[in-house]
Amino acid sequence: MSKGTEQQAAAKKQASDKEQFAKMMGTAIDAVLLVDSKFNLLSQVNIDLLQPADLDITLVPDAAFREFLLSLEEDGEKELKQRARKTRLTGEPERLSVTCEQGEITQCFEVFIQPLAAEDMPGTECVLHMRRTEVTDTPVKQPEHKGESNAELMYDMIKISSDAIIVFDGKQKIKLVNPAYQLLVSKSREELRSANDIHFFDAEEQSINNQIWQSLFYEGHWSGEVYTLEKAESKRPFWLTVDSLNHGDDTATHYLFSLRDISELKDTQAALEHNAAHDQLTGLPNRGFFLTHLEKAAERAKRQETEGALLFIDLDNFKLINDIQGHMVGDVVLLMVATRLKKIFRNGELISRIGGDEFTLIAEDVQSQSNAALIAQRILQELSEPFQIEGAEVEVQCSIGICLFPHADATTSQLIKQADTAMYAAKAGGKNNFQLFDSALTKETTRQFAIEKHLRKAIKNQELLLNYQPQYDMKTGNVIGAEVLLRWHSKELGFVSPAVFIPIAESIGLIDDLGYWVLDTVCKQIAIWRKFSSAPCLMSVNASRLQLAKPDFVKRVVDCLAKHKISGGQLEIEVTENAFTSSEKNMIRNLEALRKLGCKIAIDDFGTGYSSLSNLQTLPLDRLKIDRSFVEKIEYDQNAVTIAAAVISLGKSLGLEIIAEGVETKEQGKQLMKMGCLQAQGYYYGKPIEASEFNSQYLKNKRSIF
């Protein structure tokens, strides 16, 4: 066949289709209106249906449509426009009933609003199918078929629509399909017209046919989600809308099927659902997903009489990583931790990030505590290898709490609390380990929670106070300074030891507030004492490793000194030996800056940590404190004497001052002096006392112990 002959045949075929469509629309009892987003009428079929039968004149379509809208009762026009807007936004059809009054005539219409997707026809928003259901006082005037041009326009719109559209006649034979439908089923128009079935259903959904035709028979409409098979045999979701076009005697003459591809919408919904259930940083399930899974896992364990385990994993000192190296590095650490955990658990265990540096793991069918412990040991081992971030090593450790389920009638929240309690016990036991839940832990953890709660209010409630323990030059007997010791007497809990509340303050992020309160109070007290004594008096303040690593620590010290108008030479910063094991650059820089201000730097509890000689040589130190554990034994333990003598010798070789803490007897003092240590503090020389008492006993009178 020549190209010209093909074109003639195609034109003839198109004309035939348009004629068929015009006949179909002309015999319909419905009015079909095409409106844009501003509710302007773009095209219509049978708009005369909207006019009262006894109207003497026939209005032009635009005027008839405006008259119809104005005649709607109450908020009918507003409701109609709102429903049309909703259809445009959601892509889903809407159905409503409206009533209009024109003169003495009252008419009721059922309106079906359907979105129309036509990419190259901007402004064509939706189609209104109007069916008159009731007329009062006047017989119905049968609509006249007005012009073939409207039918042609409607045919053209169907042809260019991106929705797949197919029209059946009253005998359920295919009469018309658009190109989008042909593309969907990969069949020619002739092949489709010779077929008797609907080709867009897969085998599993052929039963929907019966539902559709039953709904069309009773209601004249059906809509719902269906799936099709592409060439690759993969399912695609579509929204199918079906309507019947009826003759004057309510006999269906045609059926209009419209398929809209909702693959992208479903993908978007799936992505939103995934994001709602997963942590955005690590991609792990989030707290909501975890809670749902834990509840189901506990129910399964109870039903199947098996035993599962919940592991609560909390990274140790993660706040320090954030504070020193920044939150970006902290995020990288969390991501790398999640990656390692996912790598080692691939047998159905659920790993979640439930917030901050907290992770959980649900392992079903572990059967015993020993198996749960093996899982915890595997996690500790995996995280023991340092992370390589931007060319630097970052060490990450964790504490793990374990509880088994089902446990009596424990709820999901109680299981989480038990695992959390065990995790806190692991931290209290030295961190970087795990702890199985035991009911005996509950009392201890309850007190810890109470300490956390009241510690947050301690500064505001003025429950904190400072004690000052004098430091002596044993050769002259003069007071040369004092160590500042923080004390807390809670109104609800009574006296709480610093050994208890300081670690808690570090773990919950309160150590900064406590440390700066101590620093400010000490500087204020030094300024007051200067009025009573001209003798230099060095106040030694303990600083935590977390504080010293902060980039703004030096600035806070400078501000404090300036605020109270004192010199840095009256302040000593004490740091425990273990704080130097990792030798963070920020900490060293801060200590060097403090020395430039005139502040003294002392290393506390020396001999109990792991400082090497090479480390000590590079640290900016002024004074070395011999730990009390060696001092208290030097009267009877030769090993303690040997260690104390070695520490004194080492300190002197580095040019450091040496002070012994915990001196409680005269004999201890004598032996220390023989070994070359001339400074001491301890109960033999004076107990820690409040500022007013310290002033009266040691500063005003310049008291000597000899």
Tell me, what's the pLDDT at 57? 47
Mean pLDDT of 213-228: 82
**Chain position carrying tokens 């990288």:** 332
Q: Check residues 14 and 541 and name the one with the higher pLDDT.
A: 541
Which three-class secondary structure state does DSSP give residue 689?
strand
pLDDT tens digit string along 661-686? 999 999 999 999 999 999 999 999 99
Q: Which segment, 57-66, 250-259, 697-706, is predicted with the most confidence on average?
A: 250-259
CA distance 251 to 600: 101
Mean pLDDT of 424-428: 85
CA distance 399 to 395: 14
Nearest one of 330, 325, 322 to 281, comparing CA atoms: 330
Q: Which segment, 14-28, 188-202, 483-497, 543-557, is predicted with the most confidence on average?
A: 483-497
pLDDT tens digit string along 74-89? 788 888 988 888 888 8
Assigned CATH topology for domain 455-699: TIM Barrel (3.20.20)
CA distance 515 to 498: 13
Q: Check residues 51 and 613 and name the one with the higher pLDDT.
A: 51
| pLDDT band at residue 151 under the 50/70/90 scheme | low
Tell me, what's the pLDDT at 146? 45
pLDDT tens digit string along 484-537? 999 999 988 899 999 889 888 887 788 889 999 999 999 999 998 887 665 557
Which residues make beta-bridge pairs with 484? 468
DSSP 69-133: HHTB-TTHHHHHHHHHHHHHHH---EEEEEEEEETTEEEEEEEEEEE---TTSTT--EEEEEEEE
Establish whether domains 12-147 and 163-277 are of one fold.
Answer: yes
Least confident segment among 20-34, 45-59, 286-300: 20-34
pLDDT tens digit string along 82-140? 888 888 887 778 888 888 887 677 888 888 888 775 444 444 568 888 877 766 654 44
Residue 541 has phi, psi (to 5 degrees) of -115, 130
| pLDDT band at residue 545 under the 50/70/90 scheme | confident
Beta carbons within 10 angstroms of residue 59's beta carbon = 16
Token digits of residue 131: 């069916």
Which residues make beta-bridge pairs with 404? 309
Token digits of residue 165: 């559209």
Tell me, what's the pLDDT at 701? 61
Task: For domain 278-437, give the CATH number.
Answer: 3.30.70.270
SS3 content of the chain, % helix, strand, coil (to 5): 45, 25, 30
Tell me, what's the pLDDT at 142? 43
Look at the alpha carbons of 668, 670, 673, 675 in this order and tell me if their dihedral is positive or negative: negative
Q: Check residues 119 and 227 and name the one with the higher pLDDT.
A: 227
Identity of residue 64: A
Mean pLDDT of 601-628: 77
Residue 233 has pLDDT above 60, yes or no: no
CA distance 695 to 126: 89
Tell me, what's the pLDDT at 521? 96
| pLDDT band at residue 704 under the 50/70/90 scheme | very low
Mean pLDDT of the chain: 82
| Alpha-carbon separation of residue 287 from 314, 339, 399, 577 (angstroms) | 14, 18, 19, 39
Q: Does domain 163-277 have CATH number 3.40.50.880?
A: no
pLDDT tens digit string along 135-147? 665 444 444 444 4
Residue 287 has pLDDT above 50, yes or no: yes
Least confident segment among 423-427, 670-674, 695-699: 695-699
| pLDDT band at residue 453 under the 50/70/90 scheme | confident
Polymer length of the chain? 706
Residue 396 has pLDDT above 60, yes or no: yes
CATH architecture of 12-147: 2-Layer Sandwich (3.30)
Tell me, what's the pLDDT at 584? 66
CB 395 within 8 A of CB 582: yes
Residue 588 has pLDDT above 90, yes or no: no
Residue 639 has phi, psi (to 5 degrees) of -60, -40
CB 435 within 8 A of CB 401: yes
CB 230 within 8 A of CB 258: no
CB 150 within 8 A of CB 144: no
pLDDT tens digit string along 310-355? 999 999 988 888 877 888 999 999 999 999 999 888 777 999 999 9
Nearest one of 134, 129, 142, 133 to 221, comparing CA atoms: 129
Tell me, what's the pLDDT at 219? 83
Which residues make beta-bridge pairs with 467? 485
**Chain position carrying tokens 């979701």:** 237
Residue 579 has pLDDT above 90, yes or no: no
Domain ranges of the chain: 12-147, 163-277, 278-437, 455-699
Q: Check residues 235 and 664 and name the one with the higher pLDDT.
A: 664
Mean pLDDT of 691-696: 89
Which three-class secondary structure state does DSSP give residue 228?
strand
Identity of residue 458: A
Token digits of residue 459: 């500064």
Burial of 348 (0-12, 13-18, 19+ CB in 10 A): exposed
For a pLDDT cut of 70, what percent of the chain falls above it?
81
Token digits of residue 585: 């650059």
Q: Which residues of 537-574 are buried (b: 16+ CB within 10 A; e: fewer)?
A: bbbbbbbbbbbbbbeebbebbeebbeebebebebbbbb
Identity of residue 117: A
Least confident segment among 288-302, 497-511, 535-549, 692-706: 692-706
| pLDDT band at residue 473 under the 50/70/90 scheme | very high
| pLDDT band at residue 8 under the 50/70/90 scheme | low
pLDDT tens digit string along 12-21? 655 555 555 5
Nearest one of 178, 166, 329 to 255, comparing CA atoms: 166
- Long-range own/partner contacts, residues 154-159 (CB < 8 A, 24 or more apart): 154/21, 154/25, 154/32, 154/34, 154/43, 154/45, 155/17, 155/18, 155/21, 155/22, 157/34, 157/43, 157/116, 157/118, 157/121, 157/124, 158/21
Residue 281 has phi, psi (to 5 degrees) of -80, -50
CB 106 within 8 A of CB 100: yes
Residue 311 has phi, psi (to 5 degrees) of -110, 125
Return the ∠ at Cα 32 (arms to 27 and 36), rounded to 5°: 160
Tell me, what's the pLDDT at 191? 73
Beta carbons within 10 angstroms of residue 379's beta carbon = 22
Tell me, what's the pLDDT at 144? 47
Residue 468 has pLDDT above 60, yes or no: yes
Burial of 298 (0-12, 13-18, 19+ CB in 10 A): buried
CA distance 348 to 246: 57
